[in-house]
Amino acid sequence: VIWMTQSPSLLSASTGDRVTISCRMSQGISSYLAWYQQKPGKAPELLIYAASTLQSGVPSRFSGSGSGTDFTLTISCLQSEDFATYYCQHRGTFGQGTKVEIK
Amino acid sequence: QVQLVESGGGLVKPGGSLRLSCAASGFTFSDYYMSWIRQAPGKGLEWVSYISSSGSTIYYADSVKGRFTISRDNAKNSLYLQMNSLRAEDTAVYYCASTVVVAATGYYFDYWGQGTLVTVSS
């Protein structure tokens, strides 16, 4: 069983900030990691797959990095529409989620 | 464009059954693996099950194994989830999602439906 630890669970930030979210695996998974954004009352949306490939239509301020056990989602310049909850995912396991809220 | 529309949710008593459906359009359904993912109220995402494009390969989360059955009808562009022996902890919004499999060791969910709420309560 592969364990996944996503942090932080809550992130307070302001518009224009650069924010990073971490996802750490208990064993190496190469680059098989995806990131999703979910807004209240809505379905999740795929942001990034294969650790660093941006899904079509996703703004370039989103980026993903990492391989093996440590992964990061970065939002380079936080916009008002980016306040949401973010999840990492590997196969049938999702991270616990990171809520990005307005400071 | 890709559209996934779930239906069949509702209120059911513990021990009861429910069948969810997901109608797909805007892509070649028979080419895609498909999954069900759920989210309990105020909680995170939990993968439930996936099925290969032909239906020959199926996996379940341990929490639903033996109680839920995933199936598909490629002629009808539809995905199903038969849920039996329902428990209070199965209460959640259930999403269907198209699934991209990568090199047999990874997969991700590229398009999601809007979800259907299943409430298990007496």
Give pLDDT tens digits for B5-22. 999 999 999 999 999 999
Cβ of residue A6 closer than 8 Å to a chain B Cβ: no
CA–centroid distance for B79 within its chain: 7
Give pLDDT tens digits for B28-60. 999 999 999 999 999 999 999 999 999 999 999
Give pLDDT tens digits for B74-107. 999 999 999 999 999 999 999 999 999 987 678 9
B5, closest residue in chain A (CA to CA) = A43
Cβ of residue A45 closer than 8 Å to a chain B Cβ: yes
pLDDT for the residue B103: 76
Question: Which is it for the CA torsion B71, B86, A89, B26, positive or negative?
Answer: positive
Question: Taking a C-beta distance cutoff of 8 angstroms, is the pair A22, A60 a contact?
Answer: no
Bond preceding residue A44 cis, omega within 30 of 0: no
Q: Whose CA is closest to B34, among B103, B116, B119, B113?
A: B113
In which order are the strands placed within the sheet that holds A19-25? A4-7, A19-25, A70-75, A62-67
B101, closest residue in chain A (CA to CA) = A91
Give the rounded percent of residues in chain A with a pLDDT score beyond 90.
96
Question: Taking a C-beta distance cutoff of 8 angstroms, is the pair B108, B98 a contact?
Answer: no
Size of interface A-B (CB pairs under 8 A): 58
Average pLDDT score, chain B: 97
Name the interface residues of B facing A (CB cutoff 8 Å): 44-47, 50, 59, 61, 95, 100, 102-103, 105-115
